Copies of this chain bind each other. A is one copy, B any other.
């Protein structure tokens, strides 16, 4: 089983609120449809979840009852994006099935503890492709929290023994510096976990769930558990498809 992350910068227009990148979503649905392999998809929030979560300061937890509406609105905006993605996958013939993290799990101090994976396992067994997302979830310590898609992915990879995680974003992979700001930035084809902090630049769009360094730190556990981790540009045609097929692709491979 593989896990594919579709970053918020790929599936939404980040500079326009609640604006899905329909063209990318349709193309990626076709690429996924062409591979027909056991798969879990986790997508980011982009211009859907982040503005609402920020407005109500959801990630710091419940302080006032007025935030309850904002908590729900954050989840609502994410289910709206999830619905667009699942609908598009279904149209492309992928038996995608939307699953809400907030209906399935609670966090403790913003971190995942035990998760009952039986529904996700059940979906995979039937041949469904679970489509999950970073979500506004209940938290045992702070009332509620934002669960990042990346944290969720790593946990899924470990508990379900994924063979590969593919992180699709709007950059070609991990660079020596931020490629959007520094013309001398070089793509690193192979990152060893022991050299992470020295080599790696941050992502341009700092989001509420952390940039590239955050992703790497989250991914570390999955690599240790035996998953292959690939960072690639999902905006570039056929890279997701190539990676899903297990073939060599332009990007960064993360190793121990």
Q: B119 to A96, Cβ gap below 8 A? A: no
A128 to B69, CA, bound (A): 8
With A104-B104, A116-B116, A119-B138 as known contacts, state yes or no: A97 contacts B126, CB within 8 Å: no
Task: Give the shortest distance, in Å, between A129 (CB) and chain B (any CB).
Answer: 9
Contacting residues, chain B, for A106 (C-beta < 8 A)? 118-119, 122
Task: Give the shortest distance, in Å, between A162 (CB) and chain B (any CB).
Answer: 20
Task: Work out how many copies of this chain go into the complex.
Answer: 2
Contacting residues, chain B, for A83 (C-beta < 8 A)? 76, 79-80, 83
Task: Give the shortest distance, in Å, between A155 (CB) and chain B (any CB).
Answer: 16
Q: A76 to B98, Cβ gap below 8 A? A: yes
Is A196 interfacial (CB 8 A cutoff)?
no
Q: A99 to B103, Cβ gap below 8 A? A: yes
Q: B68 to A127, Cβ gap below 8 A? A: yes
Task: Give the shortest distance, in Å, between A63 (CB) and chain B (any CB).
Answer: 12
With A73-B90, A79-B83, A119-B106 as known contacts, state yes or no: A95 contacts B65, CB within 8 Å: yes
Is A239 interfacial (CB 8 A cutoff)?
no
Contacting residues, chain B, for A73 (C-beta < 8 A)? 90
Q: B97 to A72, Cβ gap below 8 A? A: yes
Contacting residues, chain B, for A65 (C-beta < 8 A)? 95, 127
Q: B68 to A128, Cβ gap below 8 A? A: yes
A119 to B139, CA, bound (A): 10
Q: A126 to B72, Cβ gap below 8 A? A: no
Interface residues of A in 83-129 (CB under 8 A from B): 83, 86-87, 90, 93, 95-106, 116, 118-119, 122-123, 126-128
Is A48 interfacial (CB 8 A cutoff)?
no
Q: A126 to B98, Cβ gap below 8 A? A: no
Is A175 interfacial (CB 8 A cutoff)?
no
Q: B100 to A100, Cβ gap below 8 A? A: yes
Contacting residues, chain B, for A98 (C-beta < 8 A)? 72, 75-76, 79, 100
Q: B87 to A69, Cβ gap below 8 A? A: no
Q: A103 to B80, Cβ gap below 8 A? A: no
12 A-B residue pairs with CB within 8 Å: A62-B126, A68-B126, A69-B95, A71-B95, A72-B97, A73-B90, A75-B98, A76-B98, A79-B79, A97-B102, A104-B119, A119-B138
Given contacts A76-B86, A100-B103, A106-B118, list 7 more A-B pairs with CB under 8 A. Answer: A68-B97, A69-B90, A72-B96, A73-B90, A98-B100, A103-B104, A103-B119
